Amino acid sequence: MFNKTLGIDPKLYEYLKLVSVREPSILKELRQETANYPMARMQIAPEQGQLMALLVQLMGAKKTLELGVFRGYSSLAVALALPDEGTVIACDISQEYTTIARHYWDKAKVSHKIDLRIAPALETLDKLIAEGQGNTFDFAFIDADKSNYDNYYEQVLKLVRPGGLIAIDNVLWGGKIVDENIKDNRTQKMRALNEKIYNDSRVNISLIPIADGLTLLLKR
Ligand code: CA
């Protein structure tokens, strides 16, 4: 019996997916289309999409936020799990990536749930706060540029309601997080944010070693 998280070898990973990932065909199609695309690693893993969908359903979320849309896989996974009146305010700066995202949202018939905002995410978040939407979001997924993660975290914490959930992606940063020789800006910022969150009494936390590491935070 081990009381620590185990590394997962490729064979075990295939098994995990085989017996647990029930990926809707529309998500599978989008994932496969993106697999050969440059920057495909920016797309979340199917088991992570499924976890986020389950969490959203579990908490009965209706109003959600996503920072970093890329080609739309995570927003589609969440939108499919939301009730018909649910919403995802989806923030990204790329028209190019989100054109593909919109195509799949349409095809999956969830476009009415997704409010795409093409602008720097901090501007969109500031605007939402100024509109008085603080403490109203049930769920938020932070997966945009890592150099701004701390700023995103602070703004999102204002927008999510007490008892709401924030998920922060890539917190293990491909393992670079524990390599002392790696001192680039994004790695250092990710380390600093992980340490800050650990000591942050505003949230309850759990770091899930799924994909590249996903920290779940319950706003107190
Ligand atoms: Ca990510």
CATH number (domain holding residue 50): 3.40.50.150
Q: What is the pLDDT of residues 60-111, one digit of tens each?
A: 999 999 999 999 999 999 999 999 999 999 999 999 999 999 999 999 999 9
Residue-averaged pLDDT of the chain: 95
Q: Which domain holds residue 170?
A: 10-219
Q: What is the pLDDT of residue 151?
A: 98
59 CA to middle of ligand 1, Å? Answer: 22
Q: What is the pLDDT of residue 7?
A: 74
Domain count of the fold of the chain? 1
Task: Confirm whether 4 is domain-assigned.
Answer: no
84 CA to middle of ligand 1, Å? Answer: 26
For residue 53, give both structure tokens.
């969908």
Q: What is the pLDDT of residue 201?
A: 98
Task: Confirm whether 41 is domain-assigned.
Answer: yes
143 CA to middle of ligand 1, Å? Answer: 5
160 CA to middle of ligand 1, Å? Answer: 20
37 CA to middle of ligand 1, Å? Answer: 15
Task: Confirm whether 5 is domain-assigned.
Answer: no
The DSSP secondary-structure symbol of 84 reads: T
DSSP string for 130-171:
HTT-TT-EEEEEE-S-GGGHHHHHHHHHHHEEEEEEEEEE-T
Distance in angstroms (rounded) separating the CA atoms of residues 146 and 27: 25
43 CA to middle of ligand 1, Å? Answer: 6
